[in-house]
């Protein structure tokens, strides 16, 4: 029950003290009772008697109310305790900043919070009451393990990595970890300028900025993915790590990305030199594409078209492609569901839609969205693995890795399967099967392919 509804009629201390004072005065000077009009006196005596000597039904109700109040207090105390964990505190900030590793002496001095109501660990499913200092949904054992892994580093100096979906969240922080470990990272995103601006703001950018190459790439356009693979083959000639992180879980209409387009369309020269340096590799790729250009786009009514005569539209106009509307988007009023200037903690557009495809069942999902999900979540990763694994085989170091970011929705052996979002389930299941099928053979060439369930992010 909503706490505000429960507590909105609570008497103030002043009101209670005034009530006590009136009753004490009447008890001290009983003659005053008879000065009260009979009707009021009768009502007062009845109310006082009912309060001080409740009948069996009222007594049972009070016991029930007392238990409910105690439970609400415990829940409130537990909510407060969970809010004080590191990960929840970070989420409360208006702009999310990844928490830094706490020193061992700081951990020793941290107060261990206890929950009144046991919770079930998100990972191992055991009940726990002792709170982990960082994770609010894990027991201390799982929390300690995951906290250590969160900040684990590896020496990848001199290695070359490709990662998709690198602009936000997991992809962004994987990219940072690889860069800080010494790798050269080729990072793809549909919004390369926005991505470059974000990375250029990192405190230690000067240490690794020269090793980061950001490319605009829309994975829905598979011919562009093929061209991107050609570029990697020709420019780098070798590859050590491939991380297929990009995924489409919920389709966002054009209005969700509108606020990003202004920067994406500006001349690169108008940005700070740090931002420009991150996009140089992409510009070189686009220059090579110009050689293949046949002619101008034939449809001037759209900001860009999928099937224009120029090759590599997913590389040349990755941001603009997000602005192509679909017929079923017309039911939305962009200003209402995507209010201008309202951004979340990741500096993403706030989405006020009442429902999206994550809640939909078979028979309710648009075919175009289903196809998009397959392209991004399974077809593009297949093309990248298929093409770039050959590049990875050129020098067998025994330390090559392909990581396919999957999800529990793609598992077949779960006892209970939700009937919602079947299109994302089938895409992740396909990615899992690609991993299961190819991993054994690739391992013989020193390439270790794994699928990883990151959980909801």
User: CA-to-CA distance for 97 and 100, rounded, in angstroms?
Assistant: 9
Nearest to 340 by CA among 265, 406, 260, 274: 260
Residues 321 and 220: beta-carbon distance below 8 Å: yes
User: CA-to-CA distance for 122 and 143, rounded, in angstroms?
Assistant: 10
Indicate the fold that domain 160-453 takes in CATH: Rossmann fold (3.40.50)
pLDDT tens for the chain, 457 residues: list them: 444 444 557 889 999 999 999 999 988 998 888 889 999 999 999 999 988 998 899 889 989 988 888 888 887 877 777 777 777 777 677 676 778 877 766 776 777 788 888 999 988 999 999 989 889 889 999 999 999 998 899 999 999 999 999 999 999 999 999 999 999 999 999 999 999 999 999 999 999 999 999 999 999 999 999 999 999 999 998 999 999 999 998 888 888 999 999 999 999 999 999 999 999 999 999 998 887 665 545 555 555 565 666 789 999 999 999 998 888 776 677 778 888 888 887 888 888 887 788 888 998 899 999 999 999 999 999 999 999 999 999 999 999 999 999 988 888 877 777 888 899 999 999 999 999 999 999 999 999 999 998 876 6
Nearest to 220 by CA among 325, 431, 372: 372
User: How many residues does this entry show for the chain?
Assistant: 457
> Please, which residues have CB within 8 angstroms of residue 15's CB and are 6 or more apart in sequence?
none
Name the pTM for this structure: 0.79
**Both tokens assigned to 88:** 């929840």
Residues 178 and 242: beta-carbon distance below 8 Å: no
Res 296: pLDDT? 47
- Which residue has 């009707």 as its token pair? 39
Res 398: pLDDT? 93
User: CA-to-CA distance for 346 and 194, rounded, in angstroms?
Assistant: 12
DSSP 8-state code for residue 375? I
Going from N- to C-terminal start, the domains of the chain cover 12-53, 81-150, 160-453
Q: Are strands 212-216 and 241-244 parallel, antiparallel or unpaired?
A: unpaired
- Which residue has 């909801």 as its token pair? 456
Res 330: pLDDT? 67
**Both tokens assigned to 386:** 């298929």
User: CA-to-CA distance for 323 and 300, rounded, in angstroms?
Assistant: 14
Torsion angle (degrees, nearest 10) of CA 367, 370, 375, 381: -160
Task: Enumerate the β-bridge partners of residue 188.
Answer: 215
């Amino acid at each position: 029950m909503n706490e505000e509804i429960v507590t909105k009629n609570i008497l103030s201390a002043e009101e209670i003290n005034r009530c006590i004072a009136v009753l004490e005065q009447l008890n001290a000077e009983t003659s005053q009772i008879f000065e009260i009009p009979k009707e009021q006196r009768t009502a007062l005596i009845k109310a006082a008697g009912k309060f001080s000597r409740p009948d069996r039904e009222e007594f049972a109700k009070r016991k029930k109310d007392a238990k409910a109040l105690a439970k609400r207090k415990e829940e409130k105390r537990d909510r407060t305790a969970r809010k004080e964990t590191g990960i929840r505190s970070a989420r409360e900030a208006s702009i999310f900043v990844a928490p830094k590793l706490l020193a061992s002496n700081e951990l020793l001095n941290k107060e261990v919070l206890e929950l009144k109501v046991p919770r079930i660990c998100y990972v191992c499913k055991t009940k726990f009451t002792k709170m982990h200092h960082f994770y609010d949904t894990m027991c201390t054992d799982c929390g300690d393990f995951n906290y250590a892994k969160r900040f684990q580093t590896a020496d990848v100096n001199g290695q070359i990595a490709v990662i998709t979906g690198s602009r936000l969240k997991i992809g962004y922080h994987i990219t940072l970890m690889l860069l800080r470990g010494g790798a050269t990272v080729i990072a793809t995103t549909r919004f390369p300028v926005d991505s470059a601006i974000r990375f250029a703001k990192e405190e230690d950018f000067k240490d690794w900025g020269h090793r980061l190459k950001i490319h605009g790439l829309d994975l829905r356009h598979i011919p562009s993915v093929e061209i991107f693979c050609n570029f990697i083959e020709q420019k780098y000639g070798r590859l050590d790590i491939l991380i297929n992180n990009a995924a489409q879980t919920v389709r966002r209409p054009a209005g969700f990305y509108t606020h990003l387009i202004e920067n994406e369309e500006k001349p690169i020269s108008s940005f700070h030199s740090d931002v420009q340096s991150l996009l140089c590799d992409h510009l070189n790729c686009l220059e090579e594409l110009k050689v293949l250009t046949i002619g101008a786009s034939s449809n001037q009514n759209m900001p860009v078209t999928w099937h224009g005569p120029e090759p590599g539209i997913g590389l040349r106009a990755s941001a603009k492609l997000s602005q192509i509307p679909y017929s079923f988007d017309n039911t939305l009023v962009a200003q209402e569901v995507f209010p201008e200037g309202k951004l979340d903690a990741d500096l993403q557009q706030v989405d006020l839609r009442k429902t999206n495809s994550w809640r939909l069942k078979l028979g309710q999902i648009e075919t175009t969205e289903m196809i998009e999900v397959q392209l991004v979540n399974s077809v593009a990763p297949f093309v990248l693995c298929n093409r770039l694994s050959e590049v990875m085989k050129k020098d067998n170091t025994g330390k090559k890795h392909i990581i396919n970011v999957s999800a529990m929705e793609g598992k077949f052996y779960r006892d209970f399967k939700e009937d919602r979002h079947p299109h994302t389930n089938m895409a992740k299941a396909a990615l899992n099967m690609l991993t299961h099928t190819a991993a054994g053979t690739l391992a013989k060439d020193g390439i270790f392919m794994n699928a990883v369930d990151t959980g909801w992010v």
